[in-house]
């Protein structure tokens, strides 16, 4: 099954363990063993998570003697960022329109209050 890269990335990020691994890698390159320490799971299970992240182009894995080192691949995260930024503008525009609407309501309410105050005096 061949899916688009963005779907692969979001599927990889859907798992909390993989998101935690990404978070660990924001602090720099780590070995698979270092990445596994916070989790109570087997080495093969961590390896499967790393493979999913690698297939999604979110991490790079290199072999250094007997160590497998992992690091973030900014290209995968950039693809997510580009997709989200498109919708960020959409929501910013929507919130601006909501602000304008609420200001109009407030302004209309202030005018009604002024008329009520004049009628009571």
User: Tens of pLDDT along 15-56?
Assistant: 999 999 999 999 999 999 999 999 998 989 999 999 999 999
Rg of the chain (C-alpha set):
25
Higher-scoring residue by pLDDT: 39, 2: 39
Confidence (pTM) = 0.72
Q: In 3-state terms, what secondary structure has residue 1?
A: coil
> Given a cut of 90, is residue 114 above it in pLDDT?
no
Burial 92-111 (b: 16+ CB within 10 A, else e): eeeeeeeeeeeeeeeeeeee
Predicted confidence band at 10 (pLDDT cuts at 50, 70, 90)?
Answer: very high
> Given a cut of 90, is residue 88 above it in pLDDT?
no
* Structural contact between residues 17 and 35, judged by C-beta atoms closer than 8 angstroms: no
């Amino acid at each position: 099954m061949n899916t688009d890269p963005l779907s692969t990335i979001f599927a990889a990020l859907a798992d909390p363990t993989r998101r935690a691994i990404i978070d660990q890698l924001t602090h720099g390159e780590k070995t698979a063993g270092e990445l596994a320490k916070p989790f109570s799971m087997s080495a093969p299970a961590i390896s499967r998570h790393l493979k999913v992240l690698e297939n999604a182009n979110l991490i790079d894995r290199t072999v250094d003697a007997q160590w497998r080192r992992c690091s973030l691949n900014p290209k995968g995260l950039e693809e997510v960022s580009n997709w989200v930024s498109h919708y960020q503008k959409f929501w910013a525009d929507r919130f601006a329109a909501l602000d304008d609407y609420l200001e109009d309501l407030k302004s209309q309410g202030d005018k009604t209050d002024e008329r009520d105050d004049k009628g009571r005096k």
